[in-house]
């Protein structure tokens, strides 16, 4: 009775709020669309679809808070939706679409054609005009339809027209349709940016609950003007398929790579599948700082979200989804007091976070590991980078994060498969019995985990204050095979970041410096280059290895700490995108002595960082 009373009270409050809002604005409400119900009427292999374009008000947070006037799609005679109504049909369906433009200006609709097709193929409608189009859904895949009123490209859309997008799914014969579909939204205009997934921003995005061992299939689509970098905490997923809006490629099973972070260009999509193996609370989010933070709004305007909702948002906003994995029914709840400590054989080390007396950078990191010699720091320039942490696959580790700085922090072990409580998102990861705490100034937190795979990972702050990530609170985390020690001669780490580097200001950095020294290597010798992107918002960092300006050839052998499928390990041009939160391991062997440049470019910085690699005669 208590729950039903609360629901009734909430319904009354919402009804009054909607009534009040309707009186304040003549525009209809744009409802969030969770992409679970397909639009139109499908009969005898023909989909009869009626769409309308109109203006409405979108509420990406709660139903009485932050809102913006936007253009949106609707099924004719029904309410506006963001994203637009889901088009989902079996392969071979004939689509008869009627589109009416209720906007007071002309619009062009893209994507309502067979695939692959021409990306610039558009249906143009004047204000008040209705047009029909017929085509065959001939190729299975994940596609987009979208519209524009002023922009001439997907990347050019800003403001109200940027929300005119929807998912278009064509299912192969016999394909399962129990997946979930997420469409990114980005309402951007000068001095503001409001991001959403299926029409909502964290903490109002859909919260998912899964059982241990349940297979999860998701499709993620990006109709926005900017790149994104989606990261899953605690688990790896398989990338099953990728698309660019017109073409769609489904990987053979033996070529479905593992990852924890995936880059998503404008107009692109990907399918992912995974199986949660540990209970607790987890996150799926864009790894760009600006896109997992509360909305960027004009000066003086603040989101009008309810205080109780913000209390549980873990300081985040935007492109974030919460995931809870249920424990087994007979599992006993655990707290810090009941979790068994690892044995005396555990690898115990300490990560110390301190304020930097020089104030630039603001912080300094130190790793105290009895197995590793302390790094030499004499006469070294200031570095916005923490020391590497080396662990061993299958060996328990205990890392005490000791916070000697003047404010709170939290450390996330990016890409590591571990218990949720130690994942490092304060106020969220863990369970209802006990969530991960922040690490206050003068306090410590011990993270315990046993790495199940060898590879290249990252430790970094998950405190939602960008001054920490741009002042060096991060470092490489390398997991080695049992019995292996780190070979510093043939195994080279390159951490890409951004930060305030004195006295030059905000710069693109590699290994904590704006212009690292020349690296001396030997020709005809195999080297493992570990590339790590932990920039603030660098979703499309370009990494190239150049000989006289021309990319050489290397082998990409691992991504996000997981080996690539053997069929994908082959020589390829040394020119690749590394998105924020990704790691790549590549193998390179210079055929002859000479100078080769490792060049790092990021669109926000006009000058790349170039590290000369000087290859001498083989030993």
Q: Is residue 220 part of a domain?
A: yes
| Mean pLDDT computed over every residue of the chain | 91
* pLDDT given for residue 2 in this prediction: 31
Domain membership of residue 595 as a residue range: 487-619
Do 76 and 198 sit in the same domain of this protein? Answer: yes
Interatomic CA distance for residues 451 and 417, integer angstroms: 7
Do 477 and 500 sit in the same domain of this protein? Answer: no
Chain centroid, CA 31 distance in Å: 24
Residue at a domain's end among 424, 456, 486 = 486
Is 80 exceeded by the pLDDT of residue 252?
Answer: yes
pLDDT band at 504 (very low <50, low <70, confident <90, very high): confident
Q: Is residue 197 part of a domain?
A: yes
The average pLDDT across 595-619 equals 93
* pLDDT given for residue 330 in this prediction: 77
Do 244 and 312 sit in the same domain of this protein? Answer: yes
Do 398 and 445 sit in the same domain of this protein? Answer: yes
pLDDT tens digits along 337-387: 566 665 668 999 999 999 987 777 788 899 999 998 876 655 566 688 999
Compare 334 and 295 and report the one with higher pLDDT: 295
Cα–Cα distances (Å) from 594 to 574, 591, 617, in that order, read: 17, 9, 9
Q: Is residue 69 part of a domain?
A: yes
Cα–Cα distances (Å) from 26 to 55, 515, 526, in that order, read: 10, 57, 68
pLDDT tens digits along 139-190: 999 999 999 999 999 999 999 999 999 999 999 999 999 999 999 999 988 8
Do 492 and 579 sit in the same domain of this protein? Answer: yes
Q: Is residue 3 part of a domain?
A: no
Report how many domains make up the chain. Answer: 3
Give just the sign of the alpha carbon dihedral 535, 538, 539, 540.
negative
* pLDDT given for residue 377 in this prediction: 57
Our CA angle for 291, 297, 302, nearest 5°, is: 110
Interatomic CA distance for residues 308 and 336, integer angstroms: 26
Is 50 exceeded by the pLDDT of residue 47?
Answer: yes
Give the containing element (helix H, strand E) for 603.
none
Report the candidate in 333, 330, 329, 325 with the shortest Cα–Cα distance to residue 214. 325
Do 316 and 366 sit in the same domain of this protein? Answer: no
Do 462 and 493 sit in the same domain of this protein? Answer: no
Q: Is residue 556 part of a domain?
A: yes
* pLDDT given for residue 23 in this prediction: 47
Is 90 exceeded by the pLDDT of residue 333?
Answer: no
pLDDT tens digits along 546-582: 999 999 999 999 999 999 999 999 999 999 999 999 9
Backbone angles phi, psi at 319, to 5 degrees: -85, 75
Interatomic CA distance for residues 187 and 225, integer angstroms: 10
* pLDDT given for residue 502 in this prediction: 81
Interatomic CA distance for residues 508 and 501, integer angstroms: 9
Contact of 211 with 325, CB cutoff 8 Å: yes
Lowest mean pLDDT among 22-36, 147-161, 198-212, 346-360: 22-36
Q: Is residue 222 part of a domain?
A: yes
Contact of 238 with 274, CB cutoff 8 Å: yes
Is 60 exceeded by the pLDDT of residue 459?
Answer: yes
pTM over 0.85: yes
Do 431 and 563 sit in the same domain of this protein? Answer: no
Report the candidate in 266, 280, 169 with the shortest Cα–Cα distance to residue 218. 169
Residue at a domain's end among 456, 486, 516 = 486
Q: Is residue 339 part of a domain?
A: no
The average pLDDT across 324-341 equals 74
* pLDDT given for residue 157 in this prediction: 96
Q: What is the CATH number of the domain that holds 507?
A: 2.60.40.420
Name residue 575's beta-bridge partners: 544
Do 299 and 229 sit in the same domain of this protein? Answer: yes
Which 3 state secondary structure label does DSSP give 190? Answer: coil
Per-residue buried b or exposed e for 357-392, using 16+ beta carbons within 10 Å of the residue's own CB: eeeebbbbbbbebeeeeeeeeeeeeebbbbbbbbbb
Q: Is residue 166 part of a domain?
A: yes
Write the DSSP string, 236-292: -EEEEEEE-SS-EEEPPGGG--EESEEEE-TT-EEEEEE---S-EEEEEEE-SGGGG
Which 3 state secondary structure label does DSSP give 15? Answer: helix
Is 90 exceeded by the pLDDT of residue 9?
Answer: no
pLDDT tens digits along 404-450: 999 999 999 999 999 999 999 999 999 988 999 999 999 999 999 99
Cis peptide before 172 (omega within 30 of 0): no
Do 72 and 62 sit in the same domain of this protein? Answer: yes
Report the candidate in 588, 591, 596 with the shortest Cα–Cα distance to residue 554. 588
pLDDT tens digits along 90-124: 999 999 999 999 999 999 999 999 999 999 999 99
The average pLDDT across 266-272 equals 98
Do 468 and 513 sit in the same domain of this protein? Answer: no
Name residue 132's beta-bridge partners: 98
Cα–Cα distances (Å) from 3 to 8, 9, 49, 306, 324, in that order, read: 9, 10, 39, 20, 21
Do 133 and 218 sit in the same domain of this protein? Answer: yes
Residue at a domain's end among 486, 519, 542 = 486
């Amino acid at each position: 009775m208590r729950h039903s009373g609360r629901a009734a009270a909430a319904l009354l409050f919402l009804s009054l709020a909607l009534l009040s809002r309707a009186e304040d604005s003549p525009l209809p409400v744009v409802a969030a669309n969770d992409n679970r119900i397909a639009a139109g009427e499908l009969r005898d292999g023909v989909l009869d679809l009626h769409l309308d374009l109109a203006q409405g008000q979108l509420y990406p947070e709660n139903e009485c808070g932050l809102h913006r006037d936007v253009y949106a799609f609707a099924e004719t005679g029904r309410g506006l939706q963001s994203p637009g109504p889901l088009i989902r049909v079996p392969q071979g369906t004939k689509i008869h679409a009627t589109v009416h433009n209720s906007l007071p200006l002309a619009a062009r609709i893209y994507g309502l054609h067979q695939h692959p097709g021409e990306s610039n193929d558009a249906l143009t409608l004047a204000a008040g005009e209705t047009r029909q189009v017929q085509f065959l859904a001939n190729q299975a895949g994940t596609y987009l339809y979208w519209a524009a009123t002023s922009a001439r490209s997907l990347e050019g859309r800003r403001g109200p027209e940027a929300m005119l997008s929807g998912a278009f799914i064509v299912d192969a014969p016999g394909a399962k349709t129990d997946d979930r579909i997420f469409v990114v939204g980005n309402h951007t205009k000068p001095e503001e940016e409001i991001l959403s997934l299926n029409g909502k921003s964290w903490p109002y995005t859909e919260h998912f609950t899964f059982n241990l061992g349940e297979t999860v299939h998701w499709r993620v689509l990006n109709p926005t003007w900017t790149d994104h970098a989606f990261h899953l905490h605690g688990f790896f997923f398989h990338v099953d398929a990728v698309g660019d809006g017109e073409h769609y490629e489904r990987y053979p099973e033996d070529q479905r790579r593992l990852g924890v972070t995936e880059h998503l260009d404008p107009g692109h999509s990907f399918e992912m599948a995974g199986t949660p193996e540990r209970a607790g609370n987890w996150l799926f989010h864009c790894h760009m700082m600006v896109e997992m933070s509360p909305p960027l709004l004009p000066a003086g305007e603040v989101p009008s979200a309810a205080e109780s909702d913000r209390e549980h948002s873990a300081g985040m906003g935007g492109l974030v989804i919460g995931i809870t994995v249920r424990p087994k029914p007979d599992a006993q709840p655990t707290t810090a007091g009941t979790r068994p400590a690892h044995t005396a054989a555990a690898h115990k080390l300490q990560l110390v976070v301190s304020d930097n007396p020089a104030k630039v950078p603001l912080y300094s990191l130190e790793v105290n590991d009895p197995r590793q010699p302390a790094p030499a720091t004499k006469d070294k320039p200031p570095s916005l980078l923490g020391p590497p942490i080396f662990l061993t696959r299958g060996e328990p580790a205990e890392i005490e994060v000791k916070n000697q700085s003047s404010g709170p922090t939290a450390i996330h072990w990016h890409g590591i498969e571990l218990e949720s409580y130690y994942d490092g998102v304060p106020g969220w990861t863990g369970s209802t019995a006990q969530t991960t705490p922040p690490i206050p100034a003068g306090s410590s937190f011990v993270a315990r985990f046993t790495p199940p795979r060898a590879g290249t990972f990252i430790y970094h702050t998950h405190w939602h204050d960008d001054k920490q990530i741009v002042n060096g609170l991060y470092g490489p985390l390398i997991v080695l095979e049992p019995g292996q020690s780190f070979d510093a001669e043939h195994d080279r780490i390159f951490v890409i970041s951004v930060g305030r580097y004195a006295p030059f200001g905000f710069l693109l950095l590699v290994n904590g410096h704006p212009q690292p020294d020349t690296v001396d290597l030997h020709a005809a010798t195999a080297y493992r280059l570990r590339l790590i992107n932990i920039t603030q918002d660098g979703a499309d960092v370009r990494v190239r290895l150049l000989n006289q300006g021309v990319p050489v050839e290397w082998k990409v052998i691992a991504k996000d700490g997981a080996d690539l499928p053997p069929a994908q390990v082959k020589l390829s041009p040394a020119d690749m995108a590394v998105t924020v939160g990704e790691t790549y391991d590549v193998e390179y062997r210079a055929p002859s002595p000479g100078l080769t440049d490792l060049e790092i470019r990021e669109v926000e910085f006009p000058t790349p960082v170039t590290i000369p690699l000087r290859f001498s005669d083989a030993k």
